Amino acid sequence: MSQENSIKLYKCRGKVAELENYCFDKDISGKTGIAHTRWATHGEPNDQNAHPHLSEDGQLALIHNGIIENYVILKKELMNRGYIFKSDTDTEVLVHLIQDIYIHGECSLATAVRQALKEVEGTYALAILSADNPSELIVAKKGSPLLIGIGKDEYFIASDGAPIVKYTKKVVYLEDGDVATIHPDKPIAITNINNEVRHPYTEKLEITLEQLEKGGFPHYMLKEIYEQPRAVLDSMRGRINTVKDVVSLGGILEYESKMMQAKRFIIAACGTSWHAGLVGKYLFESLVRLPVEVEYASEFRYRNPIITEEDVLIVISQSGETADTLAALELAKGKGATVIGICNVVGSTLARNTHAGSYTHAGPEIGVASTKAFTTQVTVLALMALSLSRKKGSISSSYYHQLINDLESIPDKISKVLLQNDKIAEIAKFFLDKRNAIYLGRGVNYPVALEGALKLKEISYIHAEGYPAAEMKHGPIALIDEEMPTVVIATQQETYGKIASNIQEVRARKGKIISIVSEGDVNVKAMSDFFIEVPHTEELLVPLVSSVPLQLLAYHVAVQRGCDVDKPRNLAKSVSVE
Ligand code: AGP
């Protein structure tokens, strides 16, 4: 906090609650304050590396979300000029660099920030305040998300809308290269790094406080799992017109003809969104009959991929702020491809930089482990594929209607799966003392196996791998013994018989089978130690029901192991740094 000619600094490692305890008896009053929950990139999570970082004279304080790629060179230059570093972070370089220009340049703090950022390579959302001008705050953005909330005689800065919606819904999203000067008694002044004025426009936050509350659930993750029937319904709302017998997504309508003429679809994403992309491949290739490549955005962006103007890139992201996915977007756009976005956060960087796109309307997703974002992403991909296949005539009218009818029944089917929550909590007990698990699926259930394994890994810290079931014979089957839980998604599908044989192979090696089966199943149930039934669903849409029991399984294993389900260690909800 800044007060007349002084800055008070309080920081510690750990959760925000620990900082609250630490500040319990401290004077935290002040005119302007900055705070940051650091996600460690350079330097381990400890008190010294926590933010804010102070200038040597203690007159400037800075917080930063992003990565300074040339920090080693800058640090060396600053150390040669006598600066002493207190932390191992890249961020500390920024405050010394800005101070160096500020005290020697006899210029405003905003000018010093602009000058300093000209020497910086990398990404940043930063805020800096000074003791000699305690009411003023300078913020800057490049790569990492940053918005300014406009309150009554006060301003807020944040990386997304959720933390400030309680105080205001009026926001200004900063663009890359922006440097803004914020003072409670003056309008926001924004320039670019060359001091050219930029005139921002105010937007309205779509989220509500009520959506940000747990609504009586013990964890956001469980609340969000239970929100899926409503979320899937909202992601279909106004997009299926049974009267006119069309599926239309307003956000991509203008680009549908380009999409239909595309030579190839590329889907780029990370984590759970990448798994949704894999389901998208099955949907688009089966229904639209176009080749689809699914790429990890982090690999795609550095592989110098062959991209042409006849390509369509679909970028999928819950947050719309994932750095690697945004880089894949910019890369493909730069090479002339049409870039379509599927995103859950209105006003996010992805939504503002794609050519067109569709929101998933899942509502805010707060639990780090993505759940309703996955099912609504798959729903939007299915709607896109149905809309294009209808216009292209690549599937029969009867199959088209079958899929539409089944899609509209998904919310009820998910509600039915949720009724088995207690049973799944019982099955979770089997995992509590296990160190590993394997998830198997075939066809469109292979991405579901990957997703189930990711959920277990990221919140219960049990190592888990997802595989196409037939791959077992080529290595992973060596891992099978009584201690290895094997979760098999064996819903009724073309390869049902094949996956039943895969289950036999695991049982033959004393592996324990936990199966996801279609209602009324007999054969696989008989071979399983535990089973969970899901309603019959069209094969291409089955991930919308078969993924839900795996979300609940991971949730209950994590809860029963005493893990912090909503904020698992080492993870952030939106990975806005590379
Ligand atoms: C999933 O549970 C994880 N939180 C993570 O893998 C996530 O899916 C990934 O970081 C992508 O995030 P995005 O959808 O916001 O781009």
Q: Which protein residue has the closest C-alpha to ligand 1 atom 16?
A: 317
Closest atom, ligand 1, to C-alpha of 272: 8
Minimum-distance ligand 1 atom for the alpha carbon of 571:
4
How wide is the angle at C-alpha 311 spanned by C-alphas 241 and 237, nearest 5°?
A: 20
Tens-place pLDDT, residues 15-70: 889 999 999 999 888 889 999 998 787 888 899 999 999 999 999 999 999 999 99
Q: Please give the distance, rounded to the nearest whole angstrom, from the Cα atom of residue 378 to the centre of ligand 1.
A: 14
- Of the candidates 49, 63, 59, the one whose C-alpha atom is nearest the C-alpha of residue 2 is 59
pLDDT of residue 212: 81
Q: Which tens digit of pLDDT belongs to each residue from 351-393?
A: 999 999 999 999 999 999 999 999 999 999 999 999 999 999 9
Q: Residue 144 Cα, ligand 1 centroid: separation in angstroms?
A: 16
pLDDT above 90: residue 244? no
φ, ψ of residue 273 in degrees (nearest 5): -65, -30
Alpha helix positions (H), 13-124? 16-23, 71-80, 91-105, 109-118
Structure tokens at 339: 């870039």
Please report the atom of ligand 1 found closest to the CA of residue 270: 11
| Distance in angstroms (rounded) separating the CA atoms of residues 563 and 555 | 10
Distance 33 CA to ligand 1 centre (A): 30
Residue 401 makes CB contacts below 8 A (sequence gap 6+) with: none
- CA contacts within 13 A on the Cβ side of 555: 28
CA nearest ligand 1 atom 9, residue: 271
Average pLDDT over residues 216-230: 96
Residues with CB under 6 A from ligand 1: 270-273, 317-319, 322, 325, 368-370, 458, 574-575
Question: C-alpha 221: how far from its chain's center?
Answer: 14
How far does residue 248's CA lie from ligand 1's centre (Å)? Answer: 27
The pLDDT of 529-546, averaged and rounded, is 98
| pLDDT score of 43 | 85
> How far apart are alpha carbons 223 and 102 in whole angstroms?
49
> Helix (H, G, I), strand (E, B), or coil: what is residue 126?
strand
Residue type, 405: N
Q: How many angstroms is it from 35 CA to the middle of ligand 1?
A: 24
In tens, the pLDDT along 1-19 reads 666 678 999 999 888 899 9
Q: What is the C-alpha to C-alpha distance for residues 119 and 261, in angstroms, rounded to an integer?
A: 44
Ligand 1 atom having least distance to the Cα of 575: 10
Cα 419 to ligand 1 centre (Å):
27
Position 133 pLDDT exceeds 70: yes
Q: Which of 275, 318, 566 to mutate to test the pocket of ligand 1 (most atoms within 8 A of CB)?
A: 318
The pLDDT score that the predictor gives to residue 393 is 95
Among protein residues, the one with the nearest Cα to ligand 1's atom 10 is 271
- What is the percent of the chain where pLDDT is above 70? 99
| Residue 374: how many other CB atoms lie within 10 Å | 32
Atom of ligand 1 nearest to the CA of 319: 15
SS3 283: helix
In our burial notation (b when 16+ CB lie closer than 10 A, e otherwise), range 414-451 reads bebbbebbeebbebbebbeebeebbbbbbbbbbbbbbb
Residue 304's contacts (CB-CB under 8 Å, 6 or more residues apart) are: none
Strand partners, 229: none
Residue 180: C-alpha distances to residues 59, 107, 498 (Å) = 20, 16, 60
CA dihedral in degrees (61, 36, 326, 74; nearest 10)? 30
Q: Could you tell me the distance, in angstroms and rounded to a whole number, from the CA of residue 544 to the centre of ligand 1?
A: 18
What's the rounded mean pLDDT across residues 565-571?
A: 94
Pocket probe for ligand 1: among 319, 329, 346, 456, the residue whose CB has the most ligand atoms within 8 Å is 319
Token representation of residue 129: 């305040």
- Paired sense of beta strands 170-173 and 203-204, if any: antiparallel
Kind of pairing between the strands at 124-130 and 60-65: antiparallel
Q: Kindly report the three-state secondary structure assignment for every residue of 138-156.
A: EEEEECCCCEEEECCCCEE
pLDDT at 3: 63
**Burial degree of 184 (CB within 10 A; 0-12, 13-18, 19+):** middle
Give nearest CA residue, ligand 1 atom 5: 271
Per-residue confidence (pLDDT) for residue 546, from 0 to 100 = 98
Tell me how far the alpha carbon of residue 409 lies from the centroid of ligand 1, in angstroms: 27
The residue whose CA has the least distance to atom 6 of ligand 1 is 271
Structure token pair of residue 560: 């029963």
pLDDT of residue 544: 98
Contact 202, 148 (CB under 8 A): no
Out of 451, 454, 575, mutate this one to test ligand 1's pocket (max ligand atoms within 8 Å of CB): namely 575
Distance 341 CA to ligand 1 centre (A): 15
**270-281 residues labelled b (16+ CB within 10 A) or e (exposed):** bbbbbbbbbbbb
Q: How confident is the model at residue 301 (pLDDT cuts 50, 70, 90)?
A: very high
pTM metric for this prediction: 0.88
Tabulate helix, strand, coil % of the chain (nearest 5). 40, 20, 40
Q: Is the pLDDT of residue 323 over 70?
A: yes
Hey, which of 144, 267, 273 would you mutate to test ligand 1's pocket, going by the most ligand atoms within 8 Å of its Cβ?
273
Q: How far apart are the first and last CA of the chain?
A: 29
| Complete edge-to-edge strand list for the sheet that includes strand 137-142 | 53-54, 60-65, 124-130, 137-142, 178-182, 189-191
Q: Are the beta carbons of 451 and 374 closer than 8 angstroms?
A: yes
- Amino acid identity, residue 340? I
